[in-house]
């Protein structure tokens, strides 16, 4: 059951609003100090203006091998806002975000990447959109530009959004990435969706409620190199397994339509060959046979491959493995840890 499901998505007053900012990261030692300083500056300013009452910075460490955890603990000295979840192995961005949402204690959750391409300075605009809207549960951020990204990457990304919009049953906002504000009500519903390969953008859109957006300019990475080159096994796998397969039956329908088309073509070929034979015209048999075999064989392989993707997705989901395992925590009180152990399948 979702507690307080019928409650308003906004607290009675802005001064009672606690914000949890969730960062999923792996090996970002060159970025973390700048990220924390800028995020703190923005959030403290919002507190001083009375927009929010408190904040916490939750860092989900996806098994970093550099000094990231050490730097976070150094930045936590004399502050009580930094909290860390250390994963037992590398699980990926979306499972880490789900972990952060489950451990967050805020009235509002903001999740974003830790590379500073999505600037913390956009957070006040997100809070303003939430505050001024009517019962807003989700605030998307929509990129108006993508500094530091190649022409090819921008075009491939645009194509990916077009495919998802055309093939899936979710209203996915173009150029809206993993930088969003969620109300407690929306968060409670999202964390119930215990999918092994969660597609956060799709899940946030799928839960519905009143949603709005703010525009911003995406910046270049502050330091380091991207962990997600556009042509990589990780990105391609996430697109097919988490995004397309999870929210669309279009590939199966495409396989069926292709099969019907192949049947019609083959039937027409058979009628043509028989009519030519009855008229005494001799056709080169090898060419006709090989054409039919290759055409039908390619359709069969395509259909089997699509079915295989769905079967693999079903196989992964029915095993009900947790999509993350937490090795250790830092900065969370014991009561909060015990509550999560009791109510989450993803225990320590």
pLDDT: which is higher, 57 or 307: 57
Which residues pair with residue 328 across a beta bridge? 86
Q: Which residues 6+ apart lie within 8 Å of 290 measured at CB?
A: none
Average pLDDT over residues 329-347: 64
Q: Find residue 216's DSSP bridge partners.
A: 143
pTM as predicted: 0.68
Q: How many C-beta atoms lie closer than 10 Å to residue 51's C-beta? A: 19
Most confident of 40-44, 78-82, 145-149: 40-44
Q: Which residue has the tokens 């919009």?
A: 165
Residue 115: what pLDDT?
85
Pick from 216, 263, 19: nearest CA to 121 = 216
Interatomic CA distance for residues 336 and 185, integer angstroms? 19
C-alpha–C-alpha distance, residues 245 and 254, integer Å:
13
**DSSP per residue, 77-98:** TT-S-EEEEEESS---HHHHHH
pLDDT higher than 80, residue 329: yes
Res 181: pLDDT: 92
Residue whose C-alpha is closest to residue 140's, from 167, 163, 170: 170
**Res. 3 pLDDT band, cuts 50 70 90:** very low
Segment 15-70, tens digit of pLDDT: 588 999 999 988 888 889 999 999 999 999 988 888 888 999 999 998 888 899 89
Report how far residue 93's alpha carbon sits from residue 99's, in angstroms, rounded to the nearest whole number. 10
pLDDT in tens, 82-137: 999 998 888 888 888 888 998 988 889 999 888 888 889 999 999 988 888 778 88
For residues 98 and 145, the model is more confident at 98
> Which range has the top average pLDDT, 142-146, 180-184, 279-283?
180-184
Confidence of residue 223 (pLDDT cuts 50, 70, 90): low
Strands 108-113 and 176-183: antiparallel
Tokens of 233: 């096994």
**CA distance to 38, 96, 114, 184, 225, per residue, from 144 (Å):** 22, 27, 20, 28, 22
- Do the beta carbons of residue 86 and residue 61 sit within 8 Å? yes
Instruction: Report d(CA 102, CA 99) in Å as an integer.
Output: 5
Q: Is the distance from CB of 98 to CB of 198 less than 8 angstroms?
A: yes
Question: In residues, how long is the chain?
Answer: 348
Q: Report residue 183: phi and psi, to 5°.
A: -75, 165
What pLDDT, on the 0 to 100 scale, is given for residue 42? Answer: 92
346, 320 contact by CB (below 8 A): no
What pLDDT shows up at residue 78?
Answer: 86
Residue with tokens 């042509």, as numbered in its chain: 231
Q: What is the DSSP string of 114-125?
A: SSSSS-GGGHHH
**Pick from 89, 209, 53, 217: nearest CA to 147:** 217
d(CA 154, CA 288): 43
pLDDT digits (tens, 9 = 90+) for 21-36: 999 988 888 889 999 9
Q: In the prediction, which pLDDT does 2 show?
A: 34
Contact 128, 208 (CB under 8 A): no
| Lowest-confidence segment of 117-126, 135-144, 205-214, 244-253 by average pLDDT | 244-253
């Amino acid at each position: 059951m979702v507690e307080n499901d019928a409650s308003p998505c906004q607290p009675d007053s802005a001064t009672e609003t606690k914000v949890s900012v969730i960062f999923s990261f792996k090996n970002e030692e060159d970025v973390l100090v700048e990220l924390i300083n800028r995020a703190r500056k923005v959030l403290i300013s919002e507190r001083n203006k009375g927009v929010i009452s408190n904040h916490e910075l939750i860092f989900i460490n996806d098994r970093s091998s550099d000094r990231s955890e050490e730097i976070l603990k150094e930045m936590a000295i004399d502050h009580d806002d930094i909290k860390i979840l250390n994963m037992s192995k590398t699980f990926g961005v979306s499972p880490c975000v789900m972990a952060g949402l489950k451990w967050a204690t805020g009235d509002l959750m903001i999740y974003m990447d830790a590379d500073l391409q999505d600037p913390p300075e956009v957070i006040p605009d997100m809070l303003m959109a939430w505050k001024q809207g009517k019962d807003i549960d989700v605030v998307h951020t929509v990129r108006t530009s993508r500094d530091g990204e190649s022409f090819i990457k921008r075009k491939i990304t645009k194509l990916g959004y077009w495919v998802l919009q055309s093939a899936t049953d979710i209203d996915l906002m173009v150029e809206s990435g993993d930088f969003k504000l969620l109300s407690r009500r929306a968060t409670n519903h999202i964390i119930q969706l215990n999918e092994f390969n969660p597609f956060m953008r799709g899940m946030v859109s799928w839960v519905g409620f009143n949603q709005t957006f703010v525009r911003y300019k995406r910046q270049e990475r502050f330091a380091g190199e991207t962990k997600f080159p556009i042509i990589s096994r990780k990105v391609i796998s996430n697109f097919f397994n988490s995004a397309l397969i999870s929210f669309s039956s279009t590939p199966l329908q495409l396989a069926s339509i292709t099969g019907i088309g192949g049947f019609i073509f083959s039937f027409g070929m058979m009628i043509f060959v028989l009519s030519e034979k009855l008229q005494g015209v001799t056709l080169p048999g090898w060419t006709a046979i090989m054409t039919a075999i290759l055409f039908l064989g390619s359709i069969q392989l395509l259909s089997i491959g699509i079915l295989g993707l769905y079967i693999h997705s079903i196989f992964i989901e029915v095993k009900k493995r947790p999509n993350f395992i937490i090795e250790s925590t830092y900065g969370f009180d014991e009561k909060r840890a015990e509550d999560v152990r009791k109510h989450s399948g993803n225990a320590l």
